[in-house]
Amino acid sequence: MYDQKGCTVDNLVELKDVYFNRGNTVIYEGVNLQVPRGKITAIMGPSGCGKTTMLRLIGGQLKPRSGSVDFAGHQVPELSRGELYELRKRMSMLFQSGALFTDMSVSDNVAFPILEHTKLPREIVDTIVKMKLQAVGLRGAGGLQPDELSGGMARRAALARAIALDPELIMYDEPFTGQDPISMGMIVKLIRSLNQTLGLTSIIVSHDIHETMGIADHVAIIANKQVVAQGPPQALLDHESALVRQFLNGEPDGPVPFHYQANNYLDDLMARGG
Amino acid sequence: MDVIANLGRSSLNILRGMGAALIMLLQSIIGKPQPRKSFPLFMRQMYVVGVQSMLIILISGLFIGMVLGLQGYTILVDFGAEQALGPMVALSLLRELGPVVTALLFAGRAGSALTAEIGLMRATEQLSSLEMMAVDPLRRVVSPRFWAGFISMPMLALLFTAVGILGGYFVGVQWLGVDDGAFWSVMQASVDWRDDVMNGVIKSLVFAFVVTWIALYKGYTAEPTSEGISAATTSTVVTGSLAVLGFDFVLTAIMFS
Ligand SMILES: Nc1ncnc2c1ncn2[C@@H]1O[C@H](COP(=O)(O)OP(=O)(O)O)[C@@H](O)[C@H]1O
Ligand SMILES: [Mg+2]
């Protein structure tokens, strides 16, 4: 978070001057991002701008071309595979599709990371699973298979799995996309209450401005291959950049033009006749 | 000039693909064995890949054997050599048809299913999810499927051969009246354990390796869209079948010439 003078205070994740390419396409050119510990940080931007990519950079699934990605004092891109896997036990990611394992019941999905990374006896694991499912309101659905769940339930089940090992950081990739208003409300409530009760640091990637601005403590906006603005939500709503305001207010035309680049309309129409 | 450049580019791409496939395979099967975790996964895949392919293998084997009995009889009877029906059926199956047809059927039944399953796991981010849970998807997903395919296919080929011989027996002996004793004894006399049985098994081990490997690689690298998965599935069947036929020629040339 920022103090009054704009200095950074205790960030769990920090990206500095990150450059990233996909083949020849430049995705990031000098990105800086701070994720304050214990807070909810929102990363917003138009689709395809590289929000998921940002999460994968933090999780070490992708490596930046240059720049630093710091997680709790570790340089993620420089870790060995073993160190990276060790570090990933402290973070978790809720994927856009939920990504429940289709060949396991809901309970087994939640138990999976616990069984994989601890040597706890089965009864204790089962108890933890029940507690995690209770936290997301799905204790009764433990015996169901993932394909029997509605979209919103699947996402909550995935959330139970994501918090199974009590991570320090949880990254949500578009948690609201494709949800009906009720399950949207449930997920908003869950993200907020998990953040408060477990003291998690949360990163939400989204373009649902309304929901996201409502629960975020810190917002970063990505455009033009960079983080163009970050700060508390209120400060961004009347940001000096027209681009930021266009995005946050959802205006159809502005610095991002409504019309895809084209030659003169009249010339184009006349060209056919001539 | 363009033709040469394109040829060069596509050969490089093929080489790069083979290199990537080799790395994927090595990473998934080399490493500290964890039998307590991997054995149940392996057994489950043996069921999915092996047991569930059994029905198609049994039925195909029976029909192929019956056709061999019919065809063989009509050819041999002209020379008065219908006692040679036993070895003819057995040798065709052991040396060629058992390993090859099983591999082709396996590519179509189990190979395509493996590709689609892993491609779907990629598309629904289950593989990324495993990685983010600090679980290596190569060890967890690819490795048990590889071993299950590699081990179950030669067993399926033996099953195919056995059922095929029975099919040939039913048609040749029970239906067309070849002498029962001659069918079996001439077969036993002319089938060589090392030359015929072992060479057939070696063939199907090679096919099992190649088909399973192709299926897993195609799935693992499938484009994570529905078009991507269906293209990868098709490609598994096409590439897998061609590879089987190509290797079959090479192996036959080495073994039987
Ligand atoms: N596996 C990939 N290979 C190549 N390009 C990709 C891949 N994944 C994403 N991209 C490209 O990277 C850009 C950013 O993608 P992504 O981070 O998924 O965007 P967002 O999550 O903001 O919608 C997009 O233009 C996309 O086409
Ligand atoms: Mg995305």
Q: pLDDT for B88-116, tens place per residue?
A: 999 999 999 999 999 999 999 999 999 99
**Per-residue pLDDT tens for A192-237?**
988 888 888 999 998 888 888 889 999 998 888 888 888 888 888 7
Which of A59, A99, A116 has its CB closest to that of B124?
A99
Q: Assess A93–B contact: CB distance below 8 Å, yes or no.
A: yes
Structure confidence at residue A268 (pLDDT): 84
The Cα B94–Cα B187 span in angstroms is: 12
Residue A46 has pLDDT above 50, yes or no: yes
B216 sits in which H/E element: helix B199-220
Closest CA to B187 of B100, B79, B57, B68: B68
> Using CB atoms within 10 A of its CB, is residue A245 exposed (0-12), middle (13-18) or buried (19+)?
middle
Helices first, then strands: H and E counts in chain B: 12, 0
- Beta pairing, strands A40-44 & A218-223: parallel
Identify the nearest ligand to the CA of A222 by its number: 1
Q: Whose CA is nearest to atom 7 of ligand 1?
A: A22
Confidence of residue A3 (pLDDT cuts 50, 70, 90): very low
Q: Assess B134–A contact: CB distance below 8 Å, yes or no.
A: yes
The first and second tokens of residue A147, run together, are 């394909």
Calculate mean pLDDT across residues A54-73: 92
Phi, psi of A198, deg, nearest 5: -95, -5
Residues of chain B in contact with residue A100, where contact means CB-CB under 8 angstroms, are 126
> Which of A97-101, A189-193, B115-119 has the largest mean confidence?
B115-119
The Cα B134–Cα B155 span in angstroms is: 35
CB-based contacts of B249: which residues, under 8 Å, 6+ apart? none
Calculate mean pLDDT across residues B9-30: 87
Query: Does the beta-carbon distance from A99 to B129 stay under 8 Å?
Result: yes
pTM of the model: 0.85
Query: Does the beta-carbon distance from B133 to A101 stay under 8 Å?
Result: no
Q: Whose CA is nearest to atom 4 of ligand 1?
A: A22
Q: Assess B133–A contact: CB distance below 8 Å, yes or no.
A: yes
CA of A47 to the centre of ligand 2 (A): 7
**Per-residue pLDDT tens for B124-167?**
999 999 999 999 899 889 999 999 999 999 999 999 999 999 99
Residue B1 has pLDDT above 80, yes or no: no
B141 to A85, A184, A258, B28, B119: CA distances (angstroms): 17, 33, 45, 9, 12
Q: Assess A89–B contact: CB distance below 8 Å, yes or no.
A: yes
The set of protein residues with a Cβ atom below 6 angstroms from ligand 1 is A 22, 27, 47-53
Calculate mean pLDDT across residues A80-108: 90
Confidence of residue A9 (pLDDT cuts 50, 70, 90): low
Alpha helices in chain A (DSSP H): 51-58, 81-88, 106-117, 122-135, 151-162, 181-198, 209-215, 233-237, 242-249, 265-273
Q: Give the residue carrying structure tokens 């408060």.
A: A196
Calculate mean pLDDT across residues A60-80: 92
Q: For the beta carbon of residue B243, count every other beta carbon within 10 angstroms.
A: 18
Q: Assess B225–A contact: CB distance below 8 Å, yes or no.
A: no
Q: For chains A and B, count residue pairs whose Cβ atoms are closer than 8 Å.
A: 47
Helix (H, G, I), strand (E, B) or coil at A179: coil
Chain B: residue nearest A161 by CA?
B133
Query: Does the beta-carbon distance from A116 to B133 stay under 8 Å?
Result: yes
A43 sits in which H/E element: strand A40-44
Confidence of residue B243 (pLDDT cuts 50, 70, 90): very high
Structure confidence at residue A273 (pLDDT): 59
Confidence of residue B247 (pLDDT cuts 50, 70, 90): very high
Closest CA to A257 of A239, A236, A242, A240: A242
Which of A97, A112, A113 has its CB closest to that of B124?
A97
Residue type, A179: Q
Closest CA to A45 of A53, A34, A36, A37: A53
Which ipTM score applies to this complex?
0.83
- The residues in A 222-261 lying below 8 A from B, measured between CB atoms, are none
Q: Give the number of the atom of ligand 1 that is nearest the alpha carbon of residue A45.
A: 22
Average confidence score pLDDT of chain B = 92
Check residues A3 and A241 and name the one with the higher pLDDT. Answer: A241
> Using CB atoms within 10 A of its CB, is residue B184 exposed (0-12), middle (13-18) or buried (19+)?
middle
Residues of chain A in contact with residue B121, where contact means CB-CB under 8 angstroms, are 102
Structure confidence at residue A256 (pLDDT): 72
Structure confidence at residue A5 (pLDDT): 44
**Per-residue pLDDT tens for B63-85?**
999 999 999 999 998 988 888 89
Name the CA dihedral angle for A70, A72, A75, A81, rounded to a multiple of 10 degrees: -130
The first and second tokens of residue A70, run together, are 């710091």
Give the largest CA-CA distance in chain A: 81
Calculate mean pLDDT across residues A53-66: 93
CB-based contacts of A242: which residues, under 8 Å, 6+ apart? A254, A255
Closest CA to A212 of A186, A175, A242: A175
Average confidence score pLDDT of chain A = 87
The Cα A54–Cα A206 span in angstroms is: 12
Calculate what percentage of chain A has a pLDDT beyond 90.
45
Structure confidence at residue B2 (pLDDT): 84
Structure confidence at residue A130 (pLDDT): 94
